[in-house]
Structure 1
Amino acid sequence: MRIEQIYTGCLAQGAYYIVSDGEAAIIDPLRETQPYLDRLAADGVTLKYIFETHFHADFVSGHLDLSKQTQAPIVYGPTAQPEFDAIVATDNQVFSIGKIQVKVLHTPGHTLESSCFLLLDENGKETALFSGDTLFLGDVGRPDLAQKAAHMTQEQLAGLLYESLYGKILPLPDDITVYPAHGAGSACGKNMMKETVDSLGNQKRMNYALNQPNKEAFIEAVTNGLLPPPAYFGMNVAMNKKGYESFDQVLSHGMKALTTGEFEAVAESSGALILDTRSTQEFSEGFIPQSVNIGLDGDFAPWVGALIADVNQPILLVTDPGKEQEAITRLSRVGFDHILGHLEGGFDSWVHAAKETDTINRIPAEQFASEVKIGKSKIIDIRKESEYAAEHVEDAYSKPLAYINDWIKDVDPLEHFYLHCAGGYRSMIAASILQARGYRNFTEVAGGFNAIAKTGIPRTDFVCQSKVLNEH
């Protein structure tokens, strides 16, 4: 028996590949299936089952393409209602893979169909728990994502989650290995550990959610402090439940190379968003007007999902040459399949064609420190609220990037402001969005707060809750 965790850092997502005696199972595969097919071929094994822990909200699974390519059936837990052929298992149903078995544990709470898969080794010993979004390391799945579909409140779903965890997971042996679907950085939980594998015994000791005195306390603990989910989550659930265009087709469309003239014509006729995936420094020095910069060198896909939101938005890509397929693949993982093509030769071809370009007004932290006037200059800090609360430039406003589509209307286009994040990645995203929407009277700070903190500029952890963007 062999268990392989296939972890994707950008999504903080874990898929699992299990092999025993010539047969294999895959749990929660990502959209692109070729890596799994390559593993199967290299091992000379047959894929027997594709297990899905639930209808995922934060990424589009590769279950449908993988099933078509291998003829392996897709397995869900009880109450799932997929709009395609699948096995909807009963609670405690057992599936054999080679000499091992996988037992379905229905654990509703994160969603109604959420299930964990308990692996029994060749000797029938309970060995591993593939816990999906029911149990994370250091946390549990948030109970607010399925409220509309379940016709339940988050408190009611949290109550179901309590019963699932305390009734089915906690009684399992301490030496079981827990393999969760996500780790730190995922929006599916709020307190996840950076580790991606742990023993159930350790989770029983240190996971706050597994150490509540009663159901009421559990509900309060897991619902407290939940931030609004990204807007694309519901669309990804629908794609996972109803089906989607094959990844090969999405890749074929996106890999269409467009000359500068073709690119310009498509942009004007289609209403497509021009998405520039180059580094923040490259982008700041020159880009196609109205482009939005979300760099491949950061949490690309989650930020696309959070800020563009509509997975049906047509997209035109500008990438460094050779990075087109990576960008298309990562977009498809979060359901952005309407990629109309990419600029052939990248941004350099646009410059060589003498097309119009734009730039971002970016300055180093030292210049920011020398010219800013605390109490008079407007400073917008777009880091997370928790980062801001820990320490920030004195008198700065806290306006997290995740909510830019809400707070942008409060920005006075006539009043100059400085913009920064932690290192420059997020502030360049914000700068590109602001500029694409007509805001130009601002200065973005290179290196963000990490660089600012090395200057002598006054900083504080005091938070003034009454500050609003449009005050004067």
Structure 2
Amino acid sequence: MNIDQIYTGCLAHGAYYIESNGEAVIIDPLREVQPYIDRAEQDGAKIKYILETHFHADFVSGHLTLAEKTGATIVYGPTAKPSFDAHVAEDGEILKVGDLSIKVLHTPGHTMESTTYLLKDANGKDHSIYSGDTLFLGDVGRPDLAQKAANLTQEELASLLFDSLREKIMPLADEVIVYPGHGAGSACGKNMMKETVDTLGNQKKVNYALRADMTREEFIKEVTDGLLPPPAYFPANVKMNKEGYSSIDEVLHMGTRALSPAEFEVAAEESEAIVLDVRHQNDFVLGHIPSSIFIGIDDNFAPWVGSVIADVNQKLLLVCPEGREEETVTRLARVGFDKVLGYLKGGIEAWKADGKEVDQIESIPATEAHHRLEQEKLPVVDVRKYSEYEAEHVENALNIPLDFINSKMAEFPKDETFYVHCAGGYRSVIASSILKSRGYHNIIDIKGGFHAIKNAGFIVTDYVCPSTLK
């Protein structure tokens, strides 16, 4: 028996490969499927099943492409209604994989079709569960994402999740291993642990949602309390996972077209594409194509693209670090952004060499910002999450989280220069680039973010100003 957890940090996502006696299953695969095919070939195994725990909202699964390339059967749990050929399993159904058995446990609550897969070893002993977004480490799946599809309230879905956990998962033995669909950083839960595997017994001790004496009412209150609005791209990803999508091969073929500066400029003008610059923020502030948006590839790239661009059908043109063009297109496709028209050949240096206009963002060290603010009191805008701001922030700073920048654009100062910062410098440059593309040119970025600010003499506080935005 071989079990591999294939964890993708930028999406905080766990896919799984299980092989026994020449047969394999893949659970919740990502969009690019060749690594799974290569892994099976390495073991001399045939992929028999592609198990989907639910219709994912935070990424586009590779189930359709993988099924097309391998002939494997796509499996969903009860009540699922995909628009393509798939096996909709019954609750309690057993799937055979080599010498192993996988039992289908219908665990609705996160979504109605949510399913946990229980792996039994060759002797029939319970070994591990693959819980998708039903059970995380330290948390459970949020019950507000499928309200419209289920025609239920989040409280009603939470009540179903309460029953699923207590009737299907908690009765399992403590030594059963828990392999969740996501870890810390995912927007599918609130309080996930940084670890990506644990025993069910330990989760019964540390996971608030598995407390044995918890009442249904307490569970519903805790699970629904403090839920932030989901990223705007989530519904589009659900639709793609349920109804289908273009082949990743087609997306890569289109997206990795190399365009000269002249071709790039024409494409931007004719297509109304957004120019997305994925270099490091320090490079972007020094010089970038006017009106381009910065979202760096080396951080939580794809989730931030989905949060601030939102429309997965938006056409994009890329400015990438050399050699990372295919990686960028792939990571965009993971969250449904398939309309990449190509990338700037030679990058920003080729753009400059062609005599084309370059813009900059004023970005200064925190020590210089502190000195300037002592001379002239100007607004400071903190684009961190509200929870970060609430813990500690610059005195009198306005909090406008990056997540909500599109709906809160009018809250940014228009008639005077203002400073913007985040925790480390990544989100503030994203915010600054979006603001500049919308006509705000009175921005000064504080380099290094709040980490640098605390060491630069700024007065910080945990008092929450009534004017801040939650």
TM-score range, shorter chain: over 0.9
Q: Distance in 2 between matches of 1:468 and 1:149?
A: 30
Write out the 4+ residue segments of structure 1 that deviate beyond 4 Å after TM superposition. none
Matched AA of 1:189:
G
Q: CA deviation at 1:413?
A: 1.8
Q: Distance in 2 between matches of 1:125 and 1:191?
A: 31
Q: CA deviation at 1:410?
A: 2.1
Q: Given that residues 277 and 317 in structure 1 are in contact (C-alpha distance below 8 angstroms), is that contact kept between their aligned partners in structure 2?
A: yes
1:457-472 maps to which residues of 2 (within 5 A)?
A: 457-467=458-468
Q: CA deviation at 1:373?
A: 3.8
Which stretch has the larger CA shift, 208-217 or 109-118? Answer: 208-217
Q: Given that residues 413 and 440 in structure 1 are in contact (C-alpha distance below 8 angstroms), is that contact kept between their aligned partners in structure 2?
A: no
For the pair 1:11 / 2:11, whether they are aligned, the reply is yes
Q: CA deviation at 1:374?
A: 9.5
Q: CA deviation at 1:411?
A: 2.1
Matched AA of 2:202:
N
Per-residue CA deviations over 1:22-64 (Å, capped at 9, x if unaligned) read 1100000000011111111111110010000000000000000
Q: Given that residues 419 and 444 in structure 1 are in contact (C-alpha distance below 8 angstroms), is that contact kept between their aligned partners in structure 2?
A: yes
The equivalent residue for 2:432 is: 431
Which stretch has the larger CA shift, 164-173 or 180-189? Answer: 164-173
The equivalent residue for 1:231 is: 232
Matched AA of 2:260:
T
TM-score normalised by length of structure 1: 0.98
1:152-171 maps to which residues of 2 (within 5 A)?
A: 152-171=152-171
Q: Structure 1: any 5+ residue segments left out of the alignment?
A: none
The equivalent residue for 2:43 is: 43
1:20-419 maps to which residues of 2 (within 5 A)?
A: 20-211=20-211, 213-373=214-374, 376-419=377-420
Q: Distance in 1 between matches of 2:70 and 2:268?
A: 38
Matched AA of 1:74:
I
Per-residue CA deviations over 1:292-342 (Å, capped at 9, x if unaligned) read 000001100000001100000000011011110110010000000000111
Q: Given that residues 8 and 14 in structure 2 are in contact (C-alpha distance below 8 angstroms), is that contact kept between their aligned partners in structure 1?
A: yes
Q: Distance in 1 between matches of 2:373 and 2:432?
A: 18
Q: Distance in 2 between matches of 1:165 and 1:375?
A: 57
Q: Distance in 1 between matches of 2:418 and 2:447?
A: 14
Q: CA deviation at 1:213?
A: 2.1
What is the SS of the residue equivalent to 1:186?
Answer: coil
Q: Distance in 2 between matches of 1:436 and 1:59?
A: 27
Per-residue CA deviations over 1:402-423 (Å, capped at 9, x if unaligned) read 0101111122322111000011
Matched AA of 2:286:
E
Q: Distance in 2 between matches of 1:37 and 1:468?
A: 47
Q: Distance in 2 between matches of 1:222 and 1:375?
A: 45
Q: Distance in 2 between matches of 1:375 and 1:382?
A: 21
What is the SS of the residue equivalent to 1:457?
Answer: coil
Q: Given that residues 52 and 74 in structure 2 are in contact (C-alpha distance below 8 angstroms), is that contact kept between their aligned partners in structure 1?
A: yes
**Number of residue pairs the alignment of both structures matches:** 469
Q: CA deviation at 1:466?
A: 3.5
Per-residue CA deviations over 1:136-166 (Å, capped at 9, x if unaligned) read 0000000000001111100000010001001
Q: Distance in 1 between matches of 2:413 and 2:178?
A: 50
Task: Decide whether aligned partners of structure 1 residues 210 and 219 sit closer, same or farther in structure 2, where only a CA change above 3 A counts.
Answer: same
Percent identical among aligned pairs is 60
Per-residue CA deviations over 1:195-222 (Å, capped at 9, x if unaligned) read 0000000111110011152111110110
TM-score normalised by length of structure 2: 0.98
Q: Given that residues 375 and 395 in structure 1 are in contact (C-alpha distance below 8 angstroms), is that contact kept between their aligned partners in structure 2?
A: no
Q: CA deviation at 1:461?
A: 1.0
Q: Distance in 2 between matches of 1:418 and 1:404?
A: 15
RMSD: 1.2
Which stretch has the larger CA shift, 292-301 or 448-457? Answer: 448-457
Q: CA deviation at 1:468?
A: 6.8
Q: Distance in 2 between matches of 1:468 and 1:166?
A: 38
Q: Distance in 2 between matches of 1:99 and 1:381?
A: 55
Q: Distance in 2 between matches of 1:183 and 1:213?
A: 24
Q: Distance in 1 between matches of 2:222 and 2:412?
A: 35
Q: CA deviation at 1:467?
A: 4.5
What is the SS of the residue equivalent to 1:10?
Answer: helix
Matched AA of 2:282:
Q
Q: Distance in 1 between matches of 2:229 and 2:378?
A: 31
